[in-house]
Amino acid sequence: MTQLTRRKFLILTGMAAVNLALLETGCSKQDQKTTGPAAQRQAPAPTGDQAYLAVARGGDPDAIVKAALSSLGGIERFVKQGQDVIIKPNICVDYHPPEYAATTHPVVVGALVTLCLGAGAKRVRVMDSPFAGISPNAAYAASGIEDAVKAAGGEMEVMSPIKFAKFDIPLGKSIPSWEIYRDVLETDVLIDVPIAKNHSLARLTLGSKNLLGVVSDPNQIHSDLGQRVADLVSIIRPTLTVVDAYRILMDHGPTGGSLNDVKQANTIIASHDIIAADAYGATLFGLTGADIPYIKIGAEMGLGTLDLGAVKVEEVNVV
Amino acid sequence: MLFKANRLSIKLPVASRLRSLWAVALLLSLVIPGCTTSQPTATLAPIDVIGIFPAANTIPGWELSQEGETYNRDNLFNLVDGQADSFFVYGFEEVAVQRYQNEAGVLLTAEIWQLATYADAYGLFSAAQAGSPAAIGNAGDSDPGRRLAFWQNRYFVSLHAVEPVPDETLHAFAQAIAGMLPMGGEPPDIVGHLPTSGLVEGSSIFFHEEVSIQVDVWLGGENLLGLSQETNGVVGHYKVGNATPLLMLIEYPTSSQAAEGLKALQSGSVSGLAASDALGNRLGAVFGEVDPAQAQTLLQEALK
């Protein structure tokens, strides 16, 4: 029998304690399967006069964000006093500044941070997993989102690899489980803020596709893309989807690179229903939700509605 | 020369000598690579792509901001995320990336994409076109001061700056890279079948598979037309009166495959089809709101 020295015993005990602590805080990247707590997160349906889907148009991105939220009943419908909020914009690369419409408009993100803190959120974090470029921090800076978030009182977070954990996807038809950023599933409020843009493979990136930034190994999601994106939506369940269509990328997405591909659409689309928001977003490209596989499948799975004619859509022009 | 001809010791009559010369020419055409296909083949000798990049300060004031990186089919996703398939369909083999930085901290990224053939390099270039023509390599595309791309041999090169830089800087980098790459390469033959009258400059895209053209024409995403790396296609936008139709041509390995493609296209599942036909191993189609007679004229001009 191997004799443990006192020193070795203390080291082993200490390691065990640290590991246990990491497990309990969710920081250990051990292979674990749990039912995602996001199954409990409900996107609040409209009541009274509140719009199901809001579309605000105007030249000021800050103003149209606020107008869209006002049509939905205000940010207070989605964010309560003391809640933890994560905002997930699209910050995919550090190649281009915001006017190239590859990343979410910083003013849109800043406006949402301001609104959330104004509603009494205890913390507002903003994060994404850029896939190219020097580093997440470089992408955060190049997009202008870092400055806007800090100015509004929010926090930028670099997504740590050890915070990804494997979750069951009960409604998943192509993927029964996947590694997802734990904080995104556990936060009280998740606000999905895609920039509406062309995608060379998926046709469009909108709210549903934007959620690939919070999963591990997104490369594998691009096989059977439509179903897998819908499967992820079924577990991640944003509280609110705000589609940034102030400037939209019409071609050569998702990274773009030419201002010739950018169209000034001056539009913000917002809804608790990610499928409806995506369906409306598709119309800006001359398409319908049914033309985009992940939107169509998401509707078929009951994750939202494609039928914009059957819900209250409020359109606001902000002068 | 691939081989040394044996000297004939017997003097043949003139007619016989001419027949012999034709026979030799025919024999040579069969053994020299590329002569039997419609596509010129690329110089396939591997090169050290990373070594092509200009060294620090070759362009004055520009240092290397980090070590160069290469990506292959196994890890391309780390560079381009979900776009990887868009490069695989062009015979992607490898890409090298080098970043530079000037004293002001402006970053400039250079990418050299190695594809399987000249046609693939041309195809990737044509699919990425978004700016104005630029005189670099075999053909270039420019967003002045921000982006410059070109193709040469079986390489596609892309340069982009996060903040505006003098356009001369981008051209200096491009020239330095072009000078180190093998020369040569021609657009694939099928591109030459696009009628020139009414063709919108810069709108043509060479493709193998439909993912490359799905912004221009949506074929359903289920490979209705049976496209593959063995098919060569081209689309181009046209101005026909007040209409702006899209012409598509696809060259299949066999005429029966073209006929199957035509049948599938005419099945009614593709919207916006104005005219379609097949001739030999080529399928043609016109899409968009255009006078049917004008669509047919355009189509037949392309197929002849």
Are both B49 and B161 inside the same structural domain? Answer: yes
Is B229 among the domain residues? yes
Last residue of some domain: B178, B204, B227? Answer: B178
Is B87 among the domain residues? yes
Rounded to a whole number of angstroms, the distance from the CA of A97 to the nearest CA of chain B is 7
pLDDT band at B77 (very low <50, low <70, confident <90, very high): confident
Pairing type for strands B232-237 and B139-143 reads unpaired
Provide the 8-state DSSP code for A291. G
Are both B298 and B199 inside the same structural domain? Answer: yes
Is B156 among the domain residues? yes
pLDDT surpassing 60 at residue B38? no
Are both B174 and B54 inside the same structural domain? Answer: yes
CB contact under 8 A, A212 and B82: yes
Q: Which residues of B touch A92 (CB under 8 A)?
A: 81
Are both B133 and B212 inside the same structural domain? Answer: no
Q: What is the pTM of this model?
A: 0.86
Residues B269, B222: Cα–Cα separation, whole Å: 11
CB contact under 8 A, A252 and B128: yes
Q: How confident is the model at residue A41, as a pLDDT?
A: 81
Are both B46 and B167 inside the same structural domain? Answer: yes
User: Which residue is it, tokens 């596609």?
Assistant: B156
- The whole-chain average pLDDT of chain B stands at 88
Domain that holds residue B123: 13-22+40-178
Q: How confident is the model at residue A17, as a pLDDT?
A: 44
Which residues does A contribute to its contact with B (CB < 8 Å)? 92, 94-97, 131-132, 134, 142, 198-203, 212, 218-219, 221-222, 225, 250-252, 254-255, 257-261, 291, 293
pLDDT surpassing 80 at residue A7? no
Nearest to B102 by CA among B133, B62, B74: B62
Q: How confident is the model at residue A116, as a pLDDT?
A: 98
Rounded to a whole number of angstroms, the distance from the CA of A78 to the nearest CA of chain B is 31
Nearest to A301 by CA among A215, A198, A208: A208
Q: Which residues of B touch A224 (CB under 8 A)?
A: none
Is B183 among the domain residues? no
To probe the interface with B, which of A201, A216, A263 has the most B CB atoms within 10 Å?
A: A201
pLDDT surpassing 60 at residue B61? yes
Are both B17 and B152 inside the same structural domain? Answer: yes
CB contact under 8 A, B84 and A219: yes
Rounded to a whole number of angstroms, the distance from the CA of A50 to the nearest CA of chain B is 36
| B75: nearest CA partner in chain A | A219
Residues of chain B with pLDDT > 70, as a percent, come to 86
CB contacts < 8 Å between A and B, how many? 84
Residues A87, A177: Cα–Cα separation, whole Å: 23
What Å distances lie between residue B47 and A30, B39, B110, B123, B182, CA to CA?
A: 42, 22, 17, 21, 9
Rounded to a whole number of angstroms, the distance from the CA of B188 to the nearest CA of chain A is 22
Are both B196 and B294 inside the same structural domain? Answer: yes
CB contact under 8 A, B84 and A254: no
Integer distance in angstroms from the first to the last C-alpha of chain A? Answer: 82
Q: Which residues of B touch A131 (CB under 8 A)?
A: 77-81
Report residue A230 as tokens: 């819908």
CB contact under 8 A, B80 and A131: yes
Give the pLDDT confidence of A287-300 residue by residue, as tens digits.
Answer: 999 999 999 999 99
Q: Which ipTM value was assigned to this complex?
A: 0.83
Beta bridge partners of A57: A267, A317
Which one of A14-23, B6-15, B67-76, B168-177 scores highest in mean pLDDT? B168-177
pLDDT surpassing 80 at residue A223? yes
Return the ∠ at Cα B72 (arms to B52 and A232), rounded to 5°: 135
Is B6 among the domain residues? no
What Å distances lie between residue B62 and B55, B113, B157, CA to CA?
A: 9, 22, 18
Is B93 among the domain residues? yes
Are both B58 and B121 inside the same structural domain? Answer: yes
> Phi first, then psi: what are they for A200, rounded to 5°?
-60, -25
In this structure, what CATH number is given to the domain that contains residue B240? 3.40.1000
> In chain A, which residue ranges form alpha helices assigned H by DSSP?
6-25, 61-71, 106-118, 136-142, 145-152, 182-186, 207-210, 218-221, 225-236, 274-283, 293-300
| B211: nearest CA partner in chain A | A201
Is B34 among the domain residues? no
Name which of A7-21, B44-58, B258-272 the model is least confident about. Answer: A7-21
The answer to whether A261 touches A268, Cβ cutoff 8 Å, is no
User: Which residue is it, tokens 């591997």?
Assistant: B46
Residues A263, A248: Cα–Cα separation, whole Å: 5
Give the pLDDT confidence of A132-160 residue by residue, as tens digits.
Answer: 655 889 899 989 999 999 999 999 999 99
For every residue of A188-242, DSSP letters joined together read SEEEEEPEEEEETTTEEE-HHHHGGGGBS-HHHHTTTHHHHHHHHHHHH--SEEE
Type of residue found at A182: R
Give the pLDDT confidence of A85-102 residue by residue, as tens digits.
Answer: 999 999 988 888 899 999
Last residue of some domain: B144, B178, B212? Answer: B178
Are both B136 and B193 inside the same structural domain? Answer: no
- The number of folded domains in chain B is 2
Considering only CB atoms, B143 lies closest to which of A131, A200, A259, namely: A259
Longest Cα pair distance anywhere in chain A, in angstroms? 82
pLDDT band at A190 (very low <50, low <70, confident <90, very high): very high
Are both B92 and B47 inside the same structural domain? Answer: yes
Rounded to a whole number of angstroms, the distance from the CA of A107 to the nearest CA of chain B is 19
Residues B162, B107: Cα–Cα separation, whole Å: 6
Considering only CB atoms, B81 lies closest to which of A95, A132, A291, namely: A132
To probe the interface with A, which of B69, B81, B85 has the most A CB atoms within 10 Å?
A: B81
